[in-house]
A and B are shown apart, each in its own frame.
Chain A
Amino acid sequence: MVSSVIASDLLPMRIPSQMLLILLMAAALLISGCSGAQPPDTQGSQRTPTAGSLLPPVTPAPTAMPAIQEPRLLSLEWPARLRVGDSDTIRLTLEVDESGSITPTALIEGHETRGERVFIPNLYDTHTVMVEARLDIAGLTYTPTSEVIESLLPGQSVKFFWSVKPQDVGRYRGTIWLHLHYLPKTLDAQEVRLALSAQLVEIEAVNFLGLGGGAARITGWLGTALGSILSLDKLFDLAVGLFKRQRRKTPPQTG
């Protein structure tokens, strides 16, 4: 009852729409001002700084260490299943990633600024980069067993091959190690060896009725020939006829 009376009293006092808009804008400004007074976020949430206002004072970028300025792609290919006695290859390639792009990045007092050109000394100018690869698999015959070393040249791929041959049925797990060896071109610097990657490979060696790959193929070919002769009448008669004719041609030896 009371509320209806108040509402009826207020109805004639209509607030103009422009005034209402101004009031709303003022309220929005007030709210945004209060939120700006909140304590700074120390959790490291990502914020996009606006130009000029939030950027920290620019300080000189730290001296970057020499680096290889090309993204690379490590490709590994191995046979998941192998027949016992058969050999196959494991291939490892460290190729230049054509799709990869380098965005020069500078870190200035904890704020990341992208798009600035940063001078990074080329590692190829100061060092000779060698790639060392090694395969470790227990229970499997493979070559080479020692480390394989290739030099990494700018814009060129490096490939490694291992030949593997299982002797028994089983599941073999191994690791392919890849190290980078930085040999300085100057005498005062020290050589550095870094582990780049360690990839796990798993190869399953299988057989068929106890036969390996080679034995199964030989038995298969012989069995196909024998089975064809036995099951096809004409072929069987032909084989028997040929055998008899051959015996007739050879004269009996007289003692």
Chain B
Amino acid sequence: MSTRRIRRLLGVLILLLSAAMLLWGLWPVGYESLSIPVPPESLQLPTPTTLLLAWSVV
């Protein structure tokens, strides 16, 4: 096998490996997203229900 042929083969191998590295390194990462509705009831102040019940029992 001539030197030129070996050089070409080596060059192609390096090129392929480098292309794979570049592709992996530049590929955009996948994002995950989540949306949860928050009803107004979750945003309100807690009602002191237990305290009211205790008063009614006594």
Q: Is B33 an interface residue (CB 8 A)?
A: yes
Contact of B11 among A97, A102, A127, A230 (CB under 8 A): A230
By a CB distance below 8 angstroms, the chain B residues around A73 are 35-38
Contacts of B17 in A (CB 8 A): 223, 227
Taking a contact as CB atoms under 8 Å apart, the answer to whether B41 and A67 are in contact is yes
Distance to closest chain B CB from A234 (angstroms): 12
Cβ of B37 and Cβ of A232 under 8 Å apart? no
Min CB gap A216→B, angstroms: 4
B18-32 at interface with A (beta carbon < 8 Å): 18-26, 29-32
Complex alpha-carbon distance, A1 and B34, angstroms? 77
Contact A71/B39 with A199-B34, A220-B22 known, Cβ cut-off 8 Å: yes
Q: Is B47 an interface residue (CB 8 A)?
A: yes
Chain B nearest CB, measured from A179 CB (Å) = 12
Interface of A is mostly: mixed
Residues in A with CB closer than 8 Å to B12 are: 227, 231
Q: A79-B29, A79-B30, A230-B10 are in contact. Are A219 and B18 (CB under 8 A)?
A: yes
Q: Check A81 against B14 for contact (C-beta < 8 Å).
A: no
At the interface, yes or no: A24 with Cβ under 8 Å from chain B? no
In the complex, chain A residues whose CB is within 8 Å of the CB of B24: 83, 208, 216
- A-B contacts besides A79-B29, A123-B44, A196-B38, 9 pairs, CB < 8 Å: A65-B44, A67-B45, A71-B40, A74-B37, A78-B31, A221-B22, A226-B11, A227-B16, A227-B18
Closest 10 CB pairs of A and B: A223-B18, A230-B11, A231-B11, A227-B15, A67-B44, A220-B22, A227-B14, A220-B21, A217-B25, A68-B43
